[in-house]
Structure 1
Amino acid sequence: MDDRDEYNPFEHRHVERPNTALGGLAHLLKSSLGTGILAMPNAFRNGGLIFGTIATLVVGYICTHCVYILVNSSHTLCRRLRVPSLTYAETAEAAFKTGPLPLRPYASAVRRFVDISLAVTYYSAACVYIVFIAHSTKQVVDIHSGLDIDVRLFIAALLLPLLALGAIRDLKFLVPFSAAANACIVLSFAFTLYYVFRETPEVEDRNLHGSISQLPLFFATVIFAMEGIGVVMPVENSMSRPEQFLSCPGVLCVAMTVVVTLYTTIGFFGYAKYGDNTMGSITLNLPTEEPLAQAVKVLIAVAILFTYGLQFYVPTEITWRMIRPSIPEKRQLVSEYAIRAIAVCITVIVAASVPHLGPIISLVGALFFSTLGLIIPATVDAVTSLHHRDFDARNPVTLTSPWARAKHVARLTKDAFIIAFAAIALLSGSYASIREIQGVD
C-alpha cells in the first residue's frame, strides 16, 4: 500500500458540526492561552531576560514543530490505513501497527500509554488549577479579614463546587461555564497588563540569564505554558477543511505565532516589573490593597474554577472509557458518578499536599507535558517514517536516491534530538521541582 495513492482522508470525513479555520484557530488559542501565560514571568525569573527570551522562542518552535509532525503523521497514517481521521492515541497505535515488525506487537500498549498520559496530564493540570484558585482567593480574603488563613483551607472549601462541576457528563452543559470563563480571563488579562505597563519596568537590575540550577525550572514552566497538545487532534479532526490546519499561513502557524509572541512579551515585561519577587502567577504580584487588583484576582479565580469542568471532562472521559467495559450495564451510571467524585477528591488531595503554585507548575510541565507534547510526537514521527510500504509485507520501504536517504537520516536525527531534549527537561525539571517543593515545605 502506497501512502501516495489516491485516497484522501479529508474527502471521507463526516463531521456533524464542522469548524471553520477561524473556529479551529479560536479553539487552539483558547487551549494554549490559559493559566500558563500568567506563570511566564516566574519562568523568566529562573531564566533571565536575555536567555529567557531566546529560549522561549526556541521552545515555542520545538512545541509547534511537535504539533506539526503529530498532525502530519496522522494524515500519513490515515492514508495508509484508509480511514478518515485518527485521535492522538489512535495515531500512535497506527504508527506502531504499520511500522517495523519488531514494534508492531506494542501498538495496543502504546495506545493505552497515550490515553493514560493524557488522563494523568489533564488531572495534574486540574490540580494546578485548584492551587491557583486557592491562592488567588486567599489573597483577597486575607486582606479583608486581617488574618493569614492557611491556603489548604481554601483548597478544602473548593471540594463541593468542584464535585458539582465534575458531575457534569455532557459537554454541552459546560459551554456556559466556558463562555463565562473566557470573559473573565480576557478582563483579568487586560487589567494585569495595565498593572505591568502602568510604570516603565526597570530592566537594569534584572538577571540576563539564570543559573544552571534554575534553568530546569525555566524550561519546565515554559513547556507547561506552551503545551496544548491534548486538543490538537480533536480541533483538526473537527475542521471542515483540515488541510488549512498545517498550511502556511494556517491555523497552527497563526495560533502559535500569537501564543509565542504573547508568552515572550508577558514573561519579559512581567519579570522586568517584579524581579525576584515574581510569584508563581503574575496576578499574585498585583497590589492586593487596590480594589481593581482584588477584582482581577477574583475574576481569574472564577475563570479557572469554571475552566476546571472542561479540564476535568477530558481525562474523565478517557478513564471511564477504559473502565466501562468491566462494569455491569445496570451499575454503569452510578459507577460513573462515583468515579467522577473519586477523581475530584484525588485532585483536591494532591493540590492540598503541594499547595505551592510555582513548583507544581514546573513539576507538571517537566513530568507530563514533556512526555505528551514532545517525546510521544517525535517518537510517532520517527516510527511513521520507518514504515513498510506494504505493512502486510516484510520488505521495508526503499529509499532510491542519496537525497532521499539523507532526508530520512536527518528526520530521524531531528526526532532523536527532540526526544533527548525532552528527556533532559523531564529528568532535570522533575528533580529541581521536587527539590523546590521540599525546600518550600
Structure 2
Amino acid sequence: MPSEMYIMDSTVTLAKSVDDTQDYNPLKERNVTHPTSTVGSFFNLLKSSLGSGLLAMPAALKHTGLIPGSLGTVLVAVVATHCVHILVETSRDISRECRVASLNYTETCERVFKHGPKKLRTYTQFVRHFVDYAMAGVCLGGTSVYVIFIASSLKNICDSAFPDHKYSVELYCLGLLLPLVLLNQIRHLKYLVPFSILANLCLVVIFVITCYYTISGIHDRAEVELATNVQQWPLFLSTVIFAMEGINVVMPIENEMAHPEKFLGCPGVLNSTMVFVALLYALVGILGYLKYGEEVLGSITLNLPDDEPLALTAKVLVVVAVFFTYGLQMYAPMDIMWSRLQGRLGQSYWNWAQVAMRTLSVVLTVVLAAAVPDLELLIGLVGAIFFSTLGLLIPVVVQTVHQWDRGLGPYLYVAWKNALLMVFYLIVLLSGCYSAVSAIIDKYY
C-alpha cells in the first residue's frame, strides 16, 4: 500500500514585493523557516511512495503475470511521475502569475480555475471543495486498507498461536475500533511524529525480513504465469496506483526545499525518486510472486511461515507499523473536515464536536474494512476510485485548464497527451471498480 500519505501544507507563503517591471520568480521569493535539503527532500518523497503498499506488489503481479506486471509497474511509474511533474509546473506558473511564492495542491487547483477561461471561473469553489474531498477520500480509503492490514495480520498471528480459537477478520476489525478511536483523538502533528519514526523503523525491518524469505527460497519457486487473462489486469493497475501514488505530499515537499529548482529536471529529486521506487516495486513484486505464485496473499507477510521467530517478528511489526501510521494518515482528512465544520458551531461545542467527528471517521473506516475484508479487493477498489482521481484526473484537468488560453503546444500536443491520460484514468476507474466490485460480490454475496 501505499505508502504513507502526509498532510497538505495549507499555508500560502506571500511573495515579497518586487518591482512590477521585473519578472517574478516564485522559487527565489520563498522564505522557508526550516528549508529541507535536496537529499532530505529525496528521502521525504521516497517515504511518501514507499510503505505498506510495497507488501501488496506480489499480489498485484498475480493478476497479470510476470511480463505484463513488470512492464505495467514501469508504465504506472512513468504516468504517476508525469502527473506530478505537470502539477508542480502548473503550480509554479500560476504562482508566478499571481505573484505568490508557493501554493499547495488545493490552492493550485483553485487559482487555475479562478484565473482560467471565463466560462470556468464560476466553478472555482466547486473545484476547491472537490479537491479537498478527494484528498480526504484518499486518506479515509487508505486508512480503511490499513485496518484490514492490521486485522489480517492479527488474525494470522492469533490463528497460529491459538489454533483452537479462530475468529473472523471482521471480528478483529471490530476489536480495533476502540484503540483506533483513542489514537485518532491526537489533534497535533508534533505528537504523532514519534509514532511515524517508529513506524518507519518497523517497515525497514519488515522489508529486510521479507526479502530474506523470498530470496532464500526462490529456487523452490511456485508455479507462476508469464501472462494472465486481460480481464484480471484492472486490479493490477488500481493496486499499483494505490501503492505508488504519493501526490498529496508532493507540494509540501517541493514548497519547503532549500533549492526547489532541483525538484524537477534531470536527474532531479522527482525523477530520481520514482526510478528507484519503480525498480524496488518491480523487484519485490517479481520475487514475491516467484516465491509464492498463485498462493500469494494481499500482504506478502501473510505468506511468511507461522512457526519461525523471524517471520513472526515481521508479522508483529506490520501490526505496529500500520497501527501507528493510521493516526498520521487520518490527520489530513480530519483537518479538512474540521475546517468545514468549525465555522458552523459555537466555540463552546468545538471540543465535543472534534471528539464526535474523529470517532465517527474511525467508525467509517472500520465499517468499510469489515464490509470488504479482503485486502486485495479493498486495495483495488480504493486505488481505482480515490488514488486515480487525485493522482491522474485532477493534474490532467488542471494543466489543460491552465494552458487553454495560453496555448496547448505545437499541434495541440498538450490536449492530445492529456486526452490519452484521461482515457487511461477512465480505464483504471471503470475497469478497476467493475473488477473489484464483481469480485467482492462473487466472494461475499
- Report the TM-score, using the length of structure 1 for normalisation: 0.93
Counterpart residue identity of residue 432, structure 2: G
Number of residue pairs aligned between Structure 1 and Structure 2? 424
Partner of 2:48: 31
Equivalent of residue 311 in structure 1, options 329, 353, 372:
329
Contact preservation (8 Å) 1:224, 1:362: yes
Partner of 2:354: 336
Deviation of 1:5 (Å) = 6.2
Contact preservation (8 Å) 1:131, 1:155: yes
Contact preservation (8 Å) 2:55, 2:301: yes
- Structure 1 unaligned blocks of 5 or more: 388-396
Deviation of 1:213 (Å) = 1.4
Question: Aligned partners of 1:9 and 1:234: how far apart in 2?
Answer: 15
Contact preservation (8 Å) 1:201, 1:269: no
Pair 1:52-2:56 in alignment: no
Deviation of 1:187 (Å) = 0.3
Counterpart residue identity of residue 420, structure 1: V
Question: Aligned partners of 2:31 and 2:180: how far apart in 1?
Answer: 35
Pair 1:433-2:436 in alignment: yes
Residues 288-299 of structure 1 mapped to structure 2, 5 A cutoff: 288-299=306-317
Counterpart residue identity of residue 160, structure 1: L
Pair 1:95-2:112 in alignment: yes
Equivalent of residue 172 in structure 2, options 154, 158, 161:
154
Partner of 1:279: 297
Deviation of 1:105 (Å) = 0.8
Pair 1:376-2:394 in alignment: yes
- Report the TM-score, using the length of structure 2 for normalisation: 0.92
Contact preservation (8 Å) 1:119, 1:315: yes
Deviation of 1:18 (Å) = 1.8
Deviation of 1:220 (Å) = 0.8
Deviation of 1:203 (Å) = 6.7
Question: Aligned partners of 2:157 and 2:331: how far apart in 1?
Answer: 29
Counterpart residue identity of residue 301, structure 2: T
**1:119-148 deviations in whole A, cap 9, x for unaligned?**
011000000000000101111111111132
Question: Aligned partners of 1:134 and 1:235: how far apart in 2?
Answer: 32
Pair 1:414-2:417 in alignment: yes
Contact preservation (8 Å) 2:221, 2:292: no
Equivalent of residue 229 in structure 1, options 244, 247, 252:
247
Greater mean alpha carbon deviation, residues 325-334 or residues 424-433: 325-334
Question: Aligned partners of 1:191 and 1:180: how far apart in 2?
Answer: 17
Question: Aligned partners of 1:201 and 1:51: how far apart in 2?
Answer: 22
Change (3 A) 1:204 1:289: closer
Counterpart residue identity of residue 428, structure 1: S
Q: Cα RMSD over matched residues?
A: 1.7
Equivalent of residue 125 in structure 1, options 127, 142, 145:
142
Greater mean alpha carbon deviation, residues 250-259 or residues 115-124: 250-259
Greater mean alpha carbon deviation, residues 292-301 or residues 11-20: 11-20
**1:35-67 deviations in whole A, cap 9, x for unaligned?**
111111111000110111111101110001100
**Aligned with 2:330: secondary structure?**
helix
Residues 24-423 of structure 1 mapped to structure 2, 5 A cutoff: 24-146=41-163, 147-201=165-219, 205-387=223-405, 397=406, 405-406=409-410, 409-423=412-426
Greater mean alpha carbon deviation, residues 357-366 or residues 285-294: 285-294
Question: Aligned partners of 1:40 and 1:282: how far apart in 2?
Answer: 8
Contact preservation (8 Å) 1:128, 1:351: yes
Question: Aligned partners of 1:405 and 1:257: how far apart in 2?
Answer: 27
Question: Aligned partners of 1:244 and 1:352: how far apart in 2?
Answer: 44
